[in-house]
Structure 1
């Protein structure tokens, strides 16, 4: 088997990164310059939840596993892309909506929710994304799924601009099962090939609540 295509599903990190409400915007500045110091180097100041990143149970649970405690197998595996595009602002994605893909949900499977909301990245409407209803999150966990990705800032409704949100049902279901959530994905519309292999390994930060990832999807084929 060999990789014949790699699709980048990650947002760049820098001053142009759209941050979750209340989080700082990343600051990226030079700490050394080739002309003066003989090499280039930069300093990065950011939230652990800026850009495309992984959440660990400790993000929401006081006694939850930290990122470095989670098995690396959670961050790679065969992906099921659930095409749930066409929904309105702040609309729930229910268990019934995910029924067409239910036979593929199993332990070791990564479920990627393709809402199409990455098209609104950089605008306030990005925070009015569809969200994963509690019944759908619990159905995925019951099926053995422990890794969920979404092309939006959160699988739960984001509190923003007069909307208080509806709680953290999806986070608590997945992270409460010792799983992980990959947020702010992009490019899911490019996965036009069957059986993509997903990978999103996080930085091994001591904070433990979450970390940036380089999320990609790969196409494998037989041959030398």
Structure 2
């Protein structure tokens, strides 16, 4: 008997009244311009930055001449995933290769999507700035991941670098090596010991440096 496949939503809802936005980001708005009562149909206008909510960073976000969102191969952002639990990390604490990620090196193969669980999504849309005091990934990790064939990294934080520091070394190395970064994921703690498959495809916006994602994860049972 086949068991029902469970899907986990990895994207934060986009709600103008319940959202985390860094101070340099434009506000997110979703406003009706036609209603069923008045016009017999409903239409909204949306205004947002390309890095609002759960989204993909394309290489051209930091790399001159890098790929834009519409140039990302579809298959790169869809496939098996490796989840690493880093929920012991504290605010502003670094994530290193030697201490945190090297034990999983054998599982890092080309085509595998790396997901880092910090638990920081619990601060999404909360008062204060705790969400932006997240753990960060040491820049040297970017090169190690690329060496192991990891081309996509996803995090439940707004940034693999230190938000507000003025520097973006991990972005520059990883995107510069042809990688892609998915930020502001959620529900990673629900994935547990699943044999993970994920889909992190963004909206296909021509020429864009980033785009929203409706990320989904599911358990892919082994074939007998």
TM-score past 0.5 threshold: yes
CA shift for structure 1 position 80: 0.3
Unaligned runs of 5+ in 2: none
CA shift for structure 1 position 89: 1.1
Please point out which of 72, 75, 94 is paired with 1:73. 75
| 2:54–2:213 Cα contact (<8 Å) kept | yes
Q: Report the counterpart of residue 125 of structure 1 in structure 2.
A: 130
Within 1, Cα distance between the matches of 2:57 and 2:29? Answer: 21
Report SS of the residue matched to 1:144: coil
Within 2, Cα distance between the matches of 1:17 and 1:181? Answer: 20
CA shift for structure 1 position 194: 2.5
Report SS of the residue matched to 1:4: coil
1:67-118 deviation line (CA, Å, top 9, x unaligned): 1112111211100001111112111100011122111111111000101111
Q: Report the counterpart of residue 148 of structure 1 in structure 2.
A: 153
How many corresponding residue pairs? 218
Please point out which of 86, 89, 95 is paired with 1:87. 89
CA shift for structure 1 position 41: 1.3
More off after superposition, 51-60 vs 198-207? 198-207
TM-score (norm 1): 0.92
1:149-175 deviation line (CA, Å, top 9, x unaligned): 00000111101xxxx35x212111221
Q: Report the counterpart of residue 181 of structure 2 in structure 1.
A: 181
TM-score (norm 2): 0.92
Q: Does 1:63 align with 2:32?
A: no
CA shift for structure 1 position 55: 0.4
CA shift for structure 1 position 203: 0.7
Within 1, Cα distance between the matches of 2:192 and 2:25? Answer: 34
CA shift for structure 1 position 144: 0.6
Q: Report the counterpart of residue 98 of structure 1 in structure 2.
A: 101
Aligned counterparts, 1:1-224, within 5 A: 4-15=5-16, 16-96=18-98, 97-123=100-126, 124-159=129-164, 164=165, 167-221=167-221
| 2:8–2:217 Cα contact (<8 Å) kept | yes
More off after superposition, 150-159 vs 14-23? 14-23
CA shift for structure 1 position 222: 6.3
Unaligned runs of 5+ in 1: none
CA-based RMSD of the aligned residues comes to: 1.7
Within 2, Cα distance between the matches of 1:144 and 1:192? Answer: 24
CA shift for structure 1 position 195: 1.8
| 2:70–2:207 Cα contact (<8 Å) kept | no
Given the superposition, is the C-alpha separation of residues 3 and 169 from structure 1 closer, same or farther in structure 2, using an over 3 Å criterion?
Answer: farther
